[in-house]
Amino acid sequence: MEVPTTTSLHQIYPEEALSTQKRRWQNLLSQFKTTYDRSADFVSRSPGRVNLIGEHIDYSLYEVIPMAVTADVLLAVSVNARKDGPSRVRIANVDSSKFPTREFEIPSEGEIEIDASSHEWTNYFKSGLLGASQLLAKNKNKGDHFPSVGMDILVDGTVPSGGGLSSSAAFVCASALAVMKANGDDKVDKKELVELAVVSERNVGVNSGGMDQAASVFSLRGSALYVSFKPTLSAKAIEFPPTKPELTFVVAQSFVAADKHVTAPVCYNLRVVECTLAAEFLAKAFGLKRPLPQDSGPLGVSLRGFQDTYFEEKEGVADNTQTPVPHFQQQLEKLVQLTEDYLIQEDGYTREDIAAILRVSVDQLNARYMSAFPVRAERFLLRQRALHVFNEAIRVLKFMALLSSPPAKDEDLLNGLGELLNQTQASCRDVYDCGCPELDELCTLARAAGAYGSRLTGAGWGGCSVHLVPADKVDAVRQAWTEKYYKKRFPDISDERLEEAVVVSKPGSGSSVFVVEGRTEL
């Protein structure tokens, strides 16, 4: 399926957001003209996302259920005619005090360099550019590298950065899409765009999974997404059943900035390493004969690969990627039990412990799993990480089952979904160690004011939370947060910031290209 080309903002935003968005787009296009003294040719757009359930399991290749939000990243682009020699990119942001204007060359030979050690906003554009150039080279049969044309770009993002709504993926996806379009590729395949964006975002220093990019590109207005990574990346739209009271998701910022690029060696990238090592450790502990399959997990093997190999070898399943959901869930339940029985060290495993089980040296262990994305840890909590992943994968299946065959009483459905969200929160906080007290407080306050379920969303360690709230309790929940959290913790908080802090989120639409040339109306 191709990324759509849109001709009207009505196709992108819900009715209630239209007037604000129109003003914002007009401002973007007129600022483009003043900055570059010409009009933009097109705007590429990709939204942020909120993850409903399935936290920290995408990089172990388990299913997740995110949805796009209305907040997005826009790149207004004007293409320079191709000339001999390197092309130039000028890139500015409507918020130029925070994101200074940059200019750089695209080399005619070899790839663009990205310095992941500097926290530079245009690195995300460069990541998208790099990935798109590789895809263009493949699609146009041009060897390994296709030097892009030059561009003038003005960026406007409304996804808060470090806020858990995945501004980075929105920016990388919108950038890659812009480069594809600028180089004449009008039929960008959604799956190819997601795959390239996942890999290219890793150039910025975080060894990420694929959920955010999938949500940003595949989402359709009004539906959440069931994203699968195995046997291959796919996404299915999920409708929410009509309920009374209406099922509403509310997103609340903790305003604890979670900068996962800075904390990656002790937070995000470390979790990726722990999950990967848990997979290898379990495979050795159970004496699996085949090596774990190479897959799209960030380090090449995954807990999902372990599950498939285990049941294929131990229980004679022919191809575990074809196992029906009820059996798959039983397998996961068995893996929870096996993890409890075989990964027994509550206080974690040292590099020496793990190297001994994997029958490699510590140097080999470091080189294989911890060199491209270095981590800092003395002990690796393999037991806890595997338990979170298997249990969270079960919760996703249960959540999906509730949505696809809802119980007769709405109350049972809402309570059932809410309970799963609450369990995720507890597991993220106590087992996966990706919570923080502020997120916990937001959840406690919401539940006391009527939410069915509450949890952190995204990577955690700050950022954002998501709450399933009956429509008639949204005001009460918002008020509880305003009085007992925001005004208490941030006494000087402005009305504008308070307004941004809480968003009632309807599922938004995914990436698109908007052709500006020749258009007088938005």
Identify which of residues 46 and 78 has a Cβ nearer to ligand NG1 in the complex.
46
The answer to whether the beta carbons of residues 379 and 348 sit under 8 Å apart is: yes
CA-nearest of 39, 522, 507, 521 to 251 is 507
Minimum distance between the CB of residue 212 and ligand NG1, rounded to whole angstroms? Answer: 5
Site string for ligand NG1, 125-164 (x = CB under 6 A): ---------------------------------------x
Q: Which residue is listed with tokens 């990706």? A: 434
CB nearer to ligand NG1: give 72 or 201.
201
Segment 268-297, which members bind ligand NG1 (CB under 6 A)?
none
Give min distance, CB of 365 to ligand NG1, in A.
Answer: 23
Catalytic annotation, pick one of 212, 295, 347, 492: 212
Element (H or E) spanning 69, and its range? strand 65-79
Sign of CA dihedral 352, 354, 355, 359: positive
Q: Can you read off the two tokens belonging to residue 163? A: 């806020």
Q: What is the rounded distance in angstroms from the CA atom of residue 503 to the CA atom of residue 246?
A: 16
Among 60, 208, 269, 427, indicate the residue that binds ligand NG1 (CB under 6 A).
Answer: 208
Angle at CA of residue 383, ends 201 and 289, nearest 5°: 85
CA-CA distance, 103 to 145, in Å (whole number)?
A: 21
- In the complex, the smallest distance separating the C-beta of residue 75 from ligand NG1, rounded to whole angstroms, is 18
Choose between 216 and 320: whose C-beta lies nearer to ligand NG1: 216
Q: Which residue is nearest to ligand NG1 (CB)?
A: 458
CB of 370 to ligand NG1, least distance (A): 18
CB of 260 to ligand NG1, least distance (A): 5
Residue of 166, 219, 269, 512 that binds ligand NG1 (CB under 6 A): 166
User: Per-residue contact track with ligand NG1, 183 to 202, x per CB under 6 A?
Assistant: ------------------x-
Interface pattern 245-264 for ligand NG1 (x via CB under 6 A):
---------------x----
**What single string gives the DSSP state of each residue in 489-516?**
H-TT--HHHHHHHEEEE------EEEE-
DSSP assignment of 156-213: EE-SPTTTTS-HHHHHHHHHHHHHHHHTT----BHHHHHHHHHHHHGGGT----SHHH
Q: Give the span between the Cα atoms of 486 and 502, in whole angstroms.
A: 10
Amino acid at 57: I
We find the least distance from the C-beta atom of residue 237 to ligand NG1, in angstroms, to be: 20
CA dist., res. 405 & res. 402, Å (int) = 5
Task: For residue 199, give the nearest of 133, 243, 154, 152 by alpha carbon.
Answer: 133
Sheet with 65-79, strands from edge to edge, namely: 5-6, 512-515, 42-53, 65-79, 151-157, 87-93, 102-106
Least distance between ligand NG1 and beta carbon 488 (Å): 25
C-beta closer to ligand NG1: residue 56 or 351 = 56
How distant, in Å, are the alpha carbons of 61, 206, 298, 458 from that of 366? 23, 17, 15, 27
**Residue 275 C-beta: closest distance to ligand NG1, Å:** 10
Using CB under 6 A, pick the residue from 44, 133, 168, 384 that binds ligand NG1.
168
Q: Which is nearer to ligand NG1, 171 or 310 (CB)?
A: 171
Q: Which is nearer to ligand NG1, 183 or 425 (CB)?
A: 425
What gap in Å lies between CA 395 and CA 393, rounded to an integer?
5
- Within 48-67, which residues bind ligand NG1 (CB under 6 A)? 51, 55-56, 58-59
CB 54 within 8 Å of CB 63: yes
Verify whether residue 212 is a known catalytic residue: yes
Which residue, 262 or 362, is less far from ligand NG1 as judged by CB? Answer: 262
Binding mask 209-228 for ligand NG1 (x = CB under 6 A): x-xx----------------
Does residue 459 bind ligand NG1 (CB under 6 A)? Answer: yes
- Phi first, then psi: what are they for 424, rounded to 5°? -60, -45
Is 25 an interacting residue with respect to ligand NG1 (CB under 6 A)?
A: no
| Among residues 128, 150, 416, 458, the one that binds ligand NG1 under rule CB under 6 A | 458
Q: What number of chain residues touch ligand NG1 (CB under 6 A)?
A: 18
Which are the catalytic amino acids?
A: 212
User: Which residues of this chain interact with ligand NG1, rule CB under 6 A?
Assistant: 51, 55-56, 58-59, 164, 166, 168-169, 201, 206, 208-209, 211-212, 260, 458-459
